[in-house]
Amino acid sequence: MIHSTKQHLIEAGLRMLLEHGYNGLGIEALLKVAEVPKGSFYHHFRDKEDFALQVVDAYMAQVHAGLEACLRDQTRPPLSRVRGFFEATEQKYRDEGYLGCLLGALGQELSGVSEAFRSRIEACLAFISGRMAACLDEARLAGEIQDGCDVQRLADLLVDCWEGAALRSRLRRDPTPLTTMLDFYLGSLRAAGGTAPGAPGAIRSR
């Protein structure tokens, strides 16, 4: 169980990282918002980088819980489960004021200057893509998308498109880029029997 002070700092830090980014996050400002003394911060975290990486881990724990809740719901068809996860994610963005995805935001800010963040965030996105691929494979077996599709490539494309749409949604403070992308992607899968959005034909397994 995470210590309550540590959890409080992580929760405050998550919001501040979304709002200000890593370089805009000041430890003194964080301590003031969290109403925690500096000694407590350094009791739980080595430094600012260690803190932010642990915030990423906490964020991914939330994402993991959302994936499990949506993608394991056997009462819904596989593509409906995929839609459900992203719709729940969009609602979370809306509730937070369209601050977007922490993984995408930190990835854009830090991937070129920090190997620790680049590798951690890439691993997180790869995990999401892997879970999506498993659900898309269920959709293939259920006849919702064309047999023979490369579901991992389709899942990678979905995550890539979502992250781009999340950025546009944040810029506009508007859910339209997210909903439009999701409608187009899933509609294309169904209408074209597995043809990927923007691709010349079905993405097939090699």
For residue 29, being part of any structural domain is answered with no
Q: Can you tell me the distance from the alpha carbon of 124 to that of 130, in angstroms, rounded to the nearest whole number?
A: 10
Looking at every residue in the chain, the average pLDDT score rounds to: 92
Q: What is the pLDDT of residues 79-114, one digit of tens each?
A: 999 999 999 999 999 999 999 999 999 999 999 999
Condensed to tens digits (0 to 9), the pLDDT of residues 31-50 reads 999 999 999 999 999 999 99
**How many structural domains are present in the chain?**
1
Cα 105 off chain centre by: 10
Q: What is the dihedral of CA 41, 23, 55, 162, to 10 degrees?
A: 170
Distance CA 42, CA 63 (A): 27
Q: With respect to residue 168, please indicate whether it lies within any of the assigned structural domains.
A: yes
- What domain range is 101 assigned to? 48-191
Q: Is 197 within the bounds of a domain?
A: no
Look at the chain and count its residues: 206
As a whole number of Å, the end-to-end CA separation of the chain is 44
Instruction: Look at residue 201 in the predicted model and tell me its pLDDT.
Output: 44
CATH code of residue 131: 1.10.357.10
pLDDT of residue 205: 54
Q: What values do phi and psi take at 4, rounded to 5? A: -60, -40
Structure confidence at residue 202 (pLDDT): 47
Q: Please list the ranges in the chain whose pLDDT falls under 70.
A: 1-3, 191-206
- What pLDDT is attached to residue 190? 82
Percent of the chain with pLDDT over 90: 90
187 within some domain: yes
